[in-house]
Amino acid sequence: MQFIHQLHHLNSKNAEIEATQLLRELKKKTPAPFDADRMLHVFAEYFVSDLDINGIKRSLELLDPTVEAVRGLLYSEDKEYEPINLQRAISTLEILGPALKGSLVYAEQLQAFQDPFVPAITELLNNLPYLKTDQERAKVDKKLTEAFVALLRIDGMSFNTEGIVYERELEAIESLRKSMHNGFLFHITLEEELHKLPFYKIAERIPEPKLAFVGQLHRAMDEIGKGVERAYQIDMRAVEWAVIIYAYIKWMTGQ
């Protein structure tokens, strides 16, 4: 995709441009009339896998215990830690929960949808050039609309990000993961800031058990981040898949 790199980039104009550019490649891969096996080869890379589902579930399993562990540090009032940053970490992690839960539902719906969809869309596309009556066109249009709604969560050429992982969650967890490399949860003294000491030098004064515990939290946040990334990748694959289907419709309707 040349113009659609984030979810909000999907709109009618960009879909039209992307679909037009895709047509030459699609015509080589899947000459008409279409065969379901060949269509499966094109579509399979956009499918939701068990690894995707399990990755999101793993993030959800880790989320609450990680939040509680960070909250425990905040409540301890231990001067080794930075209260403001502990609270920021908690707030970041807490926004992920509802979005991950919504993404899990969406991913499971897509996984149930994808296998039977391939032969169904193959038949629909093959029939498009031969529709004669308004009733036939309306019936096919309804089925195509249902397919786009399943992929994009909305009736229209855009992506409904409400209630699932999108750029906000992805950027939030990535920022937290990067900050953890620099000792984000620990208190940095004014002298250390003035001298711009790297964290590996600051870590020399921090007791090893505390470093180890925060290291565990960092690893948990990395795992949570992987699930967030998977959820976002599912969204982007659905967008790309919808554009490809749109390209096939353009081809079969001579638009």
Q: For 5-63, write each residue's pLDDT tens digit.
A: 999 999 999 999 999 999 999 999 999 999 999 999 999 999 999 999 999 999 999 99
Confidence band, pLDDT 50/70/90 cuts, at residue 81: very high
- Mean pLDDT score, 181-188: 95
Task: List pLDDT tens digits, range 115-160.
Answer: 999 999 999 999 999 999 999 999 999 999 999 999 999 999 999 9
Instruction: Provide the 3-class DSSP secondary structure of residue 62.
Output: helix
> In this model, does residue 2 exceed pLDDT 90?
no
CA atoms within 13 A on the CB side of 202: 23
Q: What are the tokens at 114?
A: 């994808």
* pTM, entire model: 0.93
> In this model, does residue 255 exceed pLDDT 80?
no
Using alpha carbons, list the distances in angstroms from residue 46 to 35, 56, 125. Answer: 18, 17, 19
As a whole number of Å, the end-to-end CA separation of the chain is 20
d(CA 48, CA 241): 12
When the pLDDT of each residue in the chain is averaged and rounded to a whole number, the result is 95
d(CA 251, CA 39): 15
> In this model, does residue 101 exceed pLDDT 90?
yes
Task: List pLDDT tens digits, range 188-245.
Answer: 999 999 999 999 999 999 999 999 999 999 999 999 999 999 999 999 999 999 999 9
